[in-house]
Amino acid sequence: MPGHPVHATALIEAYLPGPDLDRTTDPLLRHLRHGGALSEEVIADTAHTHRSGRLTVTQDSGHVVDPGVGCPHPRRITLGAPTNSRALAAFARPRTNAPAFRQNDAGARALLTTLTGSAAADHRPERPAAPVGLGG
């Protein structure tokens, strides 16, 4: 509080760097971004355009929006701070039905629906394909 100094022997900072899809060091995200399979959230009005650096996903299930096809990709789901799906996650407590929990539950349902739909269509569990062009 202003005017009330606090003396401490340690400081723990929980720093999360700002999102920057253009400068990500993650090889999969970089590959998908350069291949045109990911888009960055852009907020614009008549006076200003802001590039957030956040990955564009659907708000209901976390499906990654694929600009190449102009709609959510049916098998790419992601959640978290680097996405444009902003659930308030600051120290959500168990059994509170906090927005972050609801968002994670929706993402889990979408993932399970996707996986069970694929398995049912093939009548066998699907093995995930290795990313192309990302090996060293």
Over residues 10-53, the pLDDT tens digits come to 767 776 778 888 888 889 989 999 999 998 999 999 999 999 99
For residue 52, give the H/E element and its range. strand 49-55
How confident is residue 66, by pLDDT bands cut at 50, 70 and 90?
very high
pTM of the model: 0.65
Q: What is the pLDDT of residue 37?
A: 93
Determine the straight-line distance between the first and last CA of the chain, rounded to whole angstroms.
51
Return mean pLDDT, the chain: 79
pLDDT for res 65: 93
Is residue 136 scored above 60 in pLDDT?
no
| Distance (Å) of CA 61 to CA 79, 108, 132 | 9, 8, 26
Distance between CA atoms of 86 and 84, rounded to whole angstroms?
6
Residue appearing with tokens 């799906």: 85
Distances (CA, A) of 59 to 6, 36, 72, 73, 132: 40, 21, 11, 13, 28
